[in-house]
Amino acid sequence: MERTPSAGLARSEHGQPSVRLAGVTRRFGPVVALAGADLVLHAGEVHALLGENGAGKSTLLGILGGMLRPDAGTVEIGGAPVVLRSPRDARSRGVGLVHQHFALVPALSVVENLALGQRSGRGGWALPHERVRAEAIAMIRRTGLEVPLDATIEELGVGERQRVEILKALLRDPPILALDEPTAVLTPREVDALFDLLRELVRGGRAVLLVAHKIDEVLRVADRVTVLRQGRTTLSAPRAEIDAPTLIRAMVGRDIQDAAAVGWGSERGARGGAVGEPVASLDKVRVREASGRLRLDDVSLTVCRGEIVGVAGVEGNGQRELALLLAGRIAADEGIVRVPARSGFVPQDRTREGLIADFDLVENVALALHDDARFRRGMLLRWAEIEQRAEEVRARFGVRAPDVRTRAGALSGGNQQRLVVGRELAGSPELVVAENPTRGLDFAATAFVHEELVRLARAEARSAIVLVSTDLDEVLALSDRVLVMTRGSLVPVDEAHRTREGVGALMLGGRDAVA
């Protein structure tokens, strides 16, 4: 077993930092992801790496984890400069990485996943399962990370999968543990449990690096904070010396309006005016998956003109089915569904479901228009009109592209999302369903999307907006009405519960639903 150096080595006698990254630069083609970033990690501290999406956090983590090589700059571990050639290399030097998108094989069991890549005494001929199982049980006892060792990953909920991912990293006893945005998929209670675990781990002498983009989380758990902006370190200070406004300014370079984006102060948001007539309704609706298991269980909901209905909840509780149902993309197995014939839908996976990378802007816009009588003439499509609409979308929604004939795949993530949002909102449809519409976007793009959604609801068109999001701050800040999706049921959130903790409580059973 590749036993990594014990925690003692990381906290070397001379008080050296566990990890020092200095002047790290990394490019991807024409894009500069890191332009001289610095990071210093000490043993016994929880260190938060903060920055908006696109600031360079994942790239820096990739370098620390051995997945990427820097173009310039130095990496020191335990005081000695190193060159990390692969994830295995990084692991052997004591870096344990917990990925954002779990590196787990769904069809295999937990034990098999833990054992993957390891060897027993007899090399590749035998399975190291027994030893791995024993080590896992011991680690579970020490950390309280409960996981069912013989279940397959596919059977586990998202929170459980993350626990497996963490366990996997801990099994090698790394003195340095780095977690990539772990809280995005957790319920508030699970976030608490995670933070407790992190504190426990640093007490044992480890260094923990937490990559985050939400300020309130950082303020809760970090001992030191480093802020990245556009590939550079703009701030590095102990917890005592910082506050929210300082962090915001370091992240974005100015004060911002959309606090929800930075995860600070989930304001209630200015409530809109009078709410109009119903636009869509679901009555005791049930949706099952192929195996017969219920995804939506007796869900009833009415959405009216001019209101923004927020649906909170972590992945796997049925939000996907709810969103698809409201947007008219799937049918219910039971119950009555009344939805408008035409509605806008911003799917959460924009590259797979929202856009066709090889199509240009015009053709992507056509995806929303081809059914519309105004854009077709019998069997033919009116391409001139569609192109005109594409131009309008590009201008009004600020899609940065050389022209409307550019391949959608060539656009940046933020611009792709502007395209999708613009396309779906442009016709001012009666109903817009937005699923995690700001995931992966930087603050500017996030603020833009929020603005457009709010404007659509409050403007003359007074569309109905259903915002389905795993980002609790976003939901709380934007919505007139909030509901929580938990295990296929929709639970309304009253004023008393309209806080992170309150919603978190409503997300119980306390345990994860199956993803």
Partner 1 sequence: MSEVELVLFLEASVRLGVPLALAAMGEAITERSGVINIGLEGSLIAGALGGALGALAFGGAGMGVLMGALAGLAVALVFAGFAVGLGTDQIITGTAITLGGLGMTGAIYQARFGVTGTALTLPTLAPVPMPVLADVPWLGSALFAQAPTAYLAYALAPALWYFLFRTAWGLELRAVGEHPDAAQAAGVRVRWVRFWATAFGGALAGVAGAHLALAHAGTFAENMSAGRGFIAIAVVVLGRWNPPLVLLAALFFGAASAFQFFLQALGLDLPYQLFLALPYLLTLAALAGWVGRSRAPAALAQAWPNAG
Partner 2 sequence: MRWRERAAPVGVGAAAVAAAILLSGVLLGLGGYAPLDAGRALLGGAFGSADAFFSITLVRSVPLLLTGLAVALAFRAGVWNIGAEGQLYAGAIAGVWVGLLGAGLPAWVLGPSVLVAAALGGAVWALVPALMRLRLGVGEVITTILMNFLGIHLAAFLVHGPLQEARGVFPQTDQIDPAARLPVLLSGTRLHVGFIVALLLAVGLSLFLRRTRLGFHVRAVGASRDAASVAGRIDARRVTLVAFLGSGALAGLAGGVEVAGVTYALYEGLSPGWGYTAIAVALLARLEPMAVLATGVLFGALESGAGAMQRDAAIPAVWVIAIQALIILAVLALDQLRRRGVGGAASV
The rounded distance, in Å, linking the Cα atoms of 95 and 114 is: 16
Position of tokens 């109009």? 276
Query: Is the separation of the CB atoms in 178 and 45 below 8 Å?
Result: no
Q: Does 289 bind partner 2 (CB under 8 A)?
A: no
Among 403, 451, 494, 501, binds partner 2 (CB under 8 A): 403
The crossing angle, in degrees rounded to 10, of helices 158-171 and 188-203 is: 10
Q: Does 55 bind partner 2 (CB under 8 A)?
A: yes
Residues 41, 45, 50, CA angle at the centre, nearest 5°?
A: 65
Sorted by sequence, the CB contacts under 8 Å of residue 322 that are 6+ apart come out as: 296, 299, 301, 311, 468, 485, 490
The rounded distance, in Å, linking the Cα atoms of 241 and 502 is: 30
**Tokens coding 456:** 């659509």
CB atoms within 10 A of CB 477: 21
Among 172, 249, 286, 407, binds partner 2 (CB under 8 A): 407
Q: Does 409 bind partner 1 (CB under 8 A)?
A: yes
For partner 1, give the closer residue by CB, 115 or 369: 115
Query: Which of partner 1, partner 2, none does residue 366 bind (CB under 5 to 8 Å by kind)?
Result: partner 2
CB of 367 to partner 2, least distance (A): 4
Closest CA to 504 of 282, 278, 342, 266: 266
Q: Does 246 bind partner 1 (CB under 8 A)?
A: no
How deeply is 277 buried, as exposed, middle or buried, from its count of CB atoms within 10 A (0-12, 13-18, 19+)?
exposed
Q: Does 68 bind partner 1 (CB under 8 A)?
A: no
Closest CA to 117 of 79, 87, 146: 87
**Span interacting with partner 1, options 117-125, 397-405, 469-477, 487-495, rule CB under 8 A:** 117-125
Query: Which of partner 2, partner 1, none does residue 40 bind (CB under 5 to 8 Å by kind)?
Result: none
The 199-238 site mask, x for binding partner 2 (CB under 8 A), equals --------------------------------x-------
CB of 39 to partner 2, least distance (A): 15
Residue 25: its H or E element: strand 19-28
The rounded distance, in Å, linking the Cα atoms of 91 and 65 is: 8
Position of tokens 């990953």? 153
The strand pair at 207-212 and 46-50 is best described as parallel
CB of 327 to partner 2, least distance (A): 8
**Span interacting with partner 2, options 244-252, 257-265, 375-383, 507-515, rule CB under 8 A:** 375-383
CB atoms within 10 A of CB 121: 9
Number of residues that bind partner 2 (CB under 8 A): 50
**Tokens coding 389:** 């609409």
Q: Does 96 bind partner 2 (CB under 8 A)?
A: no
For partner 2, give the closer residue by CB, 140 or 367: 367
Query: Which of partner 2, partner 1, none does residue 431 bind (CB under 5 to 8 Å by kind)?
Result: none
Where residue 159 falls (left for φ over 0; alpha for ψ -120 to 50; beta otherwise) is alpha
CB of 457 to partner 2, least distance (A): 22
Question: What amino acid occupies position 312?
Answer: A
**Tokens coding 320:** 């996907």
The 348-367 site mask, x for binding partner 2 (CB under 8 A), equals -x--xxxxxxxx---xx-xx
The rounded distance, in Å, linking the Cα atoms of 262 and 474 is: 9
**Span interacting with partner 2, options 102-110, 121-129, 210-218, 371-379, rule CB under 8 A:** 371-379
Among 33, 115, 326, 386, binds partner 1 (CB under 8 A): 115
**Tokens coding 409:** 């795949």
For partner 1, give the closer residue by CB, 161 or 229: 161
Among 16, 143, 406, 499, binds partner 2 (CB under 8 A): 406
Among 17, 21, 45, 59, binds partner 2 (CB under 8 A): 59
- Length of the chain counted residue by residue: 515
The rounded distance, in Å, linking the Cα atoms of 145 and 159 is: 11
CB of 58 to partner 2, least distance (A): 6
The residues in 338-367 that bind partner 1, with binding defined as CB under 8 A, are: 357
The contact set with partner 1 (CB under 8 A) reads 86-88, 91, 99, 102-108, 112-113, 115-120, 123-128, 357, 409
The contact set with partner 2 (CB under 8 A) reads 28-31, 33, 53-59, 62, 68, 231, 324, 328-329, 345, 347, 349, 352-359, 363-364, 366-368, 370-371, 376, 379-381, 383, 402-403, 405-407, 412-413, 420, 440
